[in-house]
């Protein structure tokens, strides 16, 4: 067998590292990969390497490339796109191309150019992956990218999760393809940027140069060209050292996540994601923080943008306030309901048993009032009158004699409402009654009230008025029954 040249040995080492990277990403069988390619050395070497190993029986890969033109660099952006077209044609690899006005998006949303470009690019990749029925999107992130990512996380005060950097394989729950979350794999995290540049050179390919990678206005570039060179003066292998730390942090966070999921399951209060507050308070602060992170992931599907500042604030709130809410990233909220804690996303509140909007209605006896979301209230005459103890909280019996014209007014609360609750000597502010009953503040405008000419007859789910109670020995009563939304 002819002896390999030094150049060929370096090529084979790159390919071996790439194969090993795929195994670390969890790819062991057949896979259809969408390769994100920008035209730079990292993604170009990834496509070149994949093209060489795609026919390996052990890999059994089908590859298709995808390029997104961010329209940020004028003619240079067009040249990058053309480079990708030419390279894919030369290799016989299919290519999908997308484009978007990142500057316009950034101006419209207030995002940084980097954030807008990243979001638009990944949405394009998710759409393309869906059309191609791809197993995963493959990116050319290297060990140098990993070190930069960890250092940037440190500057933001990240916790252990931030120190773990980028994972070999990630599922983006916010980007859903046909079979579930978009899977992103990074098989080159054990390779250096110099390795990718060398592999391009050994393959007789001259990758594109992005001048924006030299712009020190971007934080990543300042880390790349200023911070890491200084750290290299202390440790020439600082990039490798940071990558090792990220690996250790990844292993630790995996163990902690398992513990947090178990603790969350033990502390779960209901099927709507409620967590017993007492259980959270009894946890060690460090565990409580990770349990809240697990609850956030469970509610939102991802930990994206959830930083230590937000987590610490959430943990402190659980310990220090009796009720209320605090804002979390991505339109999420931590809501404290006296003895239960919830994380809600956007306007969703699956735990709320009341209609989304009560409105103003009339409920006639022997009729059923239907709300827009499927919730309903019915009223009918029953005899003999059932014992109150036999009813659930969504049922009530009232004296037919207090109901004029055989009907109730149904509405939500209003300023100045007062209520004479069963067993109380006098009436009180409805607001105070709701607070005393621990009805979450965000639910109070959704609680249906049934009124007669005398006032509030039933606060649905809570109590009837004292003056509406069925007299002892009465032969008949009006049975009220509420059913929640579909």
Q: Over the stretch 297-329, which tens digit does the pLDDT of each residue have?
A: 888 878 878 888 899 999 999 988 887 888 898
Contact partners, residue 258, CB within 8 Å, separation at least 6 = none
In a domain, 37, yes or no: yes
Same domain, 336 and 419: no
Count of domains for the chain = 3
> pLDDT tens digit string along 426-435?
999 999 999 8
Could you give the CA distance from residue 353 to residue 368 in angstroms, rounded to a whole number? 18
Contact status, residue 271 vs residue 294, Cβ threshold 8 Å:
no
Nearest alpha carbon to residue 339 among 460, 440, 447, 459? 440
The count of residues in the chain is 486
Same domain, 305 and 452: no
Contact partners, residue 321, CB within 8 Å, separation at least 6 = 336
Alpha-carbon 10 to chain mean position: 41
- Inter-CA distances, 217 with 39, 82, 214, 225, 374, Å: 22, 27, 9, 12, 54
Same domain, 278 and 196: no
Q: Is the pLDDT of residue 411 over 80?
A: yes
What CATH code is carried by the domain that includes residue 290? 3.30.465.60
Same domain, 328 and 364: no
Give the end of a domain, one of 345, 379, 401. Answer: 345
Contact status, residue 324 vs residue 279, Cβ threshold 8 Å:
no
What CATH code is carried by the domain that includes residue 152? 3.40.50.620
Tokens of 199: 């592999």
Same domain, 115 and 73: yes
At residue 98, the pLDDT reads 95
50-59, 336-345, 453-462: the lowest-pLDDT one = 50-59
> pLDDT tens digit string along 58-67?
777 899 999 9
Model confidence at 222, in pLDDT bands (50, 70, 90)?
very high
The phi and psi torsions of 431 (rounded to 5 degrees) equal: -55, -45
Same domain, 338 and 379: no
Same domain, 161 and 28: yes
Q: Which residues on neighbouring strands pair with residue 69, listed in sequence order?
A: 99
Same domain, 100 and 131: yes
At residue 351, the pLDDT reads 72
> pLDDT tens digit string along 126-177?
999 999 999 999 999 999 999 999 999 999 888 888 899 999 999 887 777 7
Nearest alpha carbon to residue 240 among 152, 141, 150, 144? 144
In a domain, 261, yes or no: no
> At which residue do the structure tokens 């240079």 appear?
76
Determine the structural domain holding residue 57 and report its residue range: 6-241
Same domain, 231 and 288: no
Q: Is the pLDDT of residue 1 over 60?
A: no
Stated pTM of the model? 0.74
> pLDDT tens digit string along 6-39?
888 999 999 999 999 998 998 766 789 999 999 9
Model confidence at 226, in pLDDT bands (50, 70, 90)?
very high
């Amino acid at each position: 067998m002819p002896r390999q040249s030094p150049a060929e040995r370096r090529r084979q080492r790159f390919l071996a590292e790439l194969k090993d990277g795929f195994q670390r990403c969890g790819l062991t069988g057949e896979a259809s990969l969408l390769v994100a390619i920008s035209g730079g050395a990292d993604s170009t070497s990834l496509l070149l390497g994949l093209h060489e190993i795609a026919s390996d029986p052990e890999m059994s890969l089908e590859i298709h490339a995808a390029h997104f033109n961010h329209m940020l660099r004028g003619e240079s952006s067009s040249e990058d796109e053309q480079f990708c077209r030419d390279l894919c044609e030369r290799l016989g690899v299919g290519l999908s191309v997308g484009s978007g006005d990142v500057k316009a998006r950034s101006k419209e949303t207030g995002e940084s150019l980097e954030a807008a470009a990243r979001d638009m690019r990944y949405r394009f990749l998710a759409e393309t992956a869906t059309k191609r029925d791809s197993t995963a999107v493959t990116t050319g992130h290297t060990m140098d990218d990993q070190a930069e990512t960890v250092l940037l996380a440190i500057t933001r005060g990240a916790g252990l999760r931030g120190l773990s950097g980028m994972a070999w394989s990630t599922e983006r729950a916010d980007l859903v393809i046909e079979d579930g979350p978009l899977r992103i794999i990074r098989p080159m995290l054990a390779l250096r940027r110099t390795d990718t540049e060398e592999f391009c050179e050994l393959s007789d390919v001259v990758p594109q140069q992005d001048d924006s990678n030299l712009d020190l206005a971007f934080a990543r570039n300042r880390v790349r060209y200023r911070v890491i060179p200084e750290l290299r003066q202390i440790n020439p292998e600082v990039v490798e050292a940071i990558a090792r730390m990220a690996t250790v942090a990844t292993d630790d966070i995996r163990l902690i996540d398992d513990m947090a999921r178990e603790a969350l399951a033990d502390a779960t209060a209901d099927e709507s994601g409620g967590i017993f507050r007492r259980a959270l308070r009894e946890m060690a602060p460090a565990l409580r923080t990770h349990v809240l992170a697990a609850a956030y992931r469970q509610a939102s599907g991802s930990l994206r943008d959830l930083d230590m500042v937000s987590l610490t604030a959430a943990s402190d709130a659980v310990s220090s306030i009796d009720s209320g809410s605090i804002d979390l990233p991505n339109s999420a909220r931590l809501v404290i309901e006296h003895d239960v804690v919830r994380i809600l996303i956007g306007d969703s509140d699956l735990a709320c048993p009341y209609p989304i909007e009560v409105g103003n209605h009339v409920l006639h006896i022997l009729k059923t009032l239907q709300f827009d979301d499927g919730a309903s209230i019915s009223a009918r005459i029953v005899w003999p009158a059932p014992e109150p103890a036999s009813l659930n909280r969504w049922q009530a019996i009232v004296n037919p004699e207090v109901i004029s014209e055989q009907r109730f007014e149904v509405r939500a609360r209003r300023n100045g409402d007062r209520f004479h609750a069963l067993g109380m000597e006098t009436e009180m502010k409805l607001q105070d009654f709701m607070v005393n009953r621990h009805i979450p503040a965000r639910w109070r405008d959704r609680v249906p009230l049934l009124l007669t000419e005398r006032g509030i007859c039933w606060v649905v789910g809570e109590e009837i008025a004292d003056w509406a109670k069925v007299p002892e020995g009465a032969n008949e009563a009006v049975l009220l029954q509420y059913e929640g939304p579909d």
